[in-house]
Structure 1
Amino acid sequence: MTMLGLAKGGFAGMGALSLPIVAMTTSPVRAAAILLPILIVQDAVGVWAFRRDWNGYILGWMLPGAAIGIALGYLFAASVSPDAVLGLVGAVSIVFGGYRLWVERHGAPATAADSPGWVGTIFGVLSGFTSQIAHAGQPPYQLWVVPRRLPRDVFVGTTAIFFAVVNWVKVPAYIALGQFTRANLTISALLLPVAILSTAAGVWLVRRVSAERFYRLIYALMIAVGVKLVWDSLG
């Protein structure tokens, strides 16, 4: 895997790790709403950098499914108890962290690279749902896209565009949930410089520290935080 590919996977892991950490100090739905504007700003940078490299077939099949998944995630968040949402966030964190550790050790799972487009739509639904609930849409997305072995820049560009669209589609849902309050947006604005600096620090670390060890630590911490959230939801 190239250094750029490792960085992409690592930043996705750190982004997903942010939600359970914030959710330990506030409700998971509010934590997701606080992080959403930050993710949108980060998306803009990725889309601009790879605006000429993307795969229309993948986007055309996955994005409609993602919209359905986001709607399902909105209905879930609006109709269940905070403890249930907290438990789901923790479970997604554990699965995501475990999945990434498995990939680091064994490689990408053997999903058929030539599976039909409707299979991509199903994975899009799963990606949209987990993204709406916990900003963790990467695992379902990767399960269908990675085995297709896209050129490096096309993979990164397609991923950037997919999640940029997904995050913008989530905005009305969070507005409907009443989560884009002045207080939440203020926190988002205060965290944005930290997010930019942490991304720059991530680039610095990727270039100087063993990428494999660094990412395994991130995913292990993600599992630990997920276990803590699940435990709290059962308390």
Structure 2
Amino acid sequence: MIELDASGWALLGCAAVIVGASKTMLPGAATLAVALFAAVLPARESTAALLILLIVGDLFAIWMYRKTVDWTILRRLIWPVIIGVAVGTVFLGAASDGAVRRVIGVILLALLGFTLWRRRRARTVQEREPKPGRLAGYGFGSLGGFTTMVANAGGPVMSMYLLAMRLPVTTFLGTTAYFFFTVNVSKIPFHIGLGLLNWEVFLISATLIPMVVVAAFIGRWFAGRISQKLFERLVLVLTAVGAVNLLL
């Protein structure tokens, strides 16, 4: 039985608000919710509880950004993501909680460093940062599938890829919404099969859904008023913070 006190519910409530805002305003911020859930619930079960909230947030993001989606990018990522999810399922079934967090944290920091290096190099040679090629898309897709399966931490990975593709804010958010809704729904059978998603975990998540909904609408209001430069900087900062949280 999972027993929660007032402080535990408060932390989960904060995490739910972060999930809603991340889906409609700041992709990558959900990694902070991963850390909060893992601090309150058993780490492996926390991924299943958070998954329900992420799917709810995805649904609202799809509704809000349904007209701003880059389908070409999504089609390119389908098979790499499936491979990543499959590998992540095997890893999640065999690895310890601590190993899961450290692996994801290292991957995120490496991607962040690579992204910053590409931008700095482009400025040095006074050229526009080149968009990632098809091979890079396969790599990011596989990592995105792996990280979202083992720790619901695929947001920062895909944010790094979509940021490099230089998508406008609303197209960025719309593409992310459809991508993660598809991936997150496909993860449900795996979580049930691993014994992580049960009735008790579902009830905890259901209690927090209203907070996700409210935060999603607030995030949508802010997204329509944020500049492209500030948006990109916030994505990079939140990715770094999320990676450090996972490592610590």
Same fold? TM cut 0.5: yes
For residues 12 and 144 of structure 1, do their structure 2 counterparts lie closer, same or farther at Cα, with a shift above 3 Å needed?
A: closer
For residues 126 and 202 of structure 1, do their structure 2 counterparts lie closer, same or farther at Cα, with a shift above 3 Å needed?
A: same
After superposition, give the CA deviation of every residue in 1:148-187 in whole Å (9 maximum; x if it has no partner). 3334433322221111111112112111111121110011
For residues 145 and 64 of structure 1, do their structure 2 counterparts lie closer, same or farther at Cα, with a shift above 3 Å needed?
A: same
Determine the C-alpha separation between the residues in 2 that align with 1:57 and 1:149: 14
* Residue aligning to 1:153: 170
Q: Find out whether 1:181 has 2:198 as its counterpart.
A: yes
Map 1:201-212 onto structure 2 (within 5 A).
none
For residues 66 and 111 of structure 1, do their structure 2 counterparts lie closer, same or farther at Cα, with a shift above 3 Å needed?
A: farther
* Residue aligning to 2:73: 58
Determine the C-alpha separation between the residues in 2 that align with 1:51 and 1:204: 16
Q: Find out whether 1:131 has 2:142 as its counterpart.
A: no
Give 3-state SS (helix, strand or coil) of 2:153's partner: coil
Determine the C-alpha separation between the residues in 2 that align with 1:49 and 1:9: 8
Q: Find out whether 1:36 has 2:51 as its counterpart.
A: yes
- Where does structure 2 lack aligned partners over 5 or more consecutive residues? 1-20
Give 3-state SS (helix, strand or coil) of 2:131's partner: coil
Q: TM-score, normalised by structure 1?
A: 0.74
Give percent identity, aligned residues only. 29
Determine the C-alpha separation between the residues in 2 that align with 1:206 and 1:44: 17
After superposition, give the CA deviation of every residue in 1:21-61 in whole Å (9 maximum; x if it has no partner). 21123332211100111111111111122223322221111
Match of 2:130 among 91, 99, 112: 112
* Residue aligning to 1:233: none
For residues 86 and 158 of structure 1, do their structure 2 counterparts lie closer, same or farther at Cα, with a shift above 3 Å needed?
A: closer
Determine the C-alpha separation between the residues in 2 that align with 1:102 and 1:113: 14
* Residue aligning to 2:157: 140
CA contact (8 A) 1:20 1:90 kept: no
Give the CA RMSD over aligned residues: 4.0
Letter in 1 for 2:65: F
Determine the C-alpha separation between the residues in 1 that align with 2:160 and 2:247: 23
Determine the C-alpha separation between the residues in 2 that align with 1:112 and 1:226: 30
Letter in 2 for 1:73: G
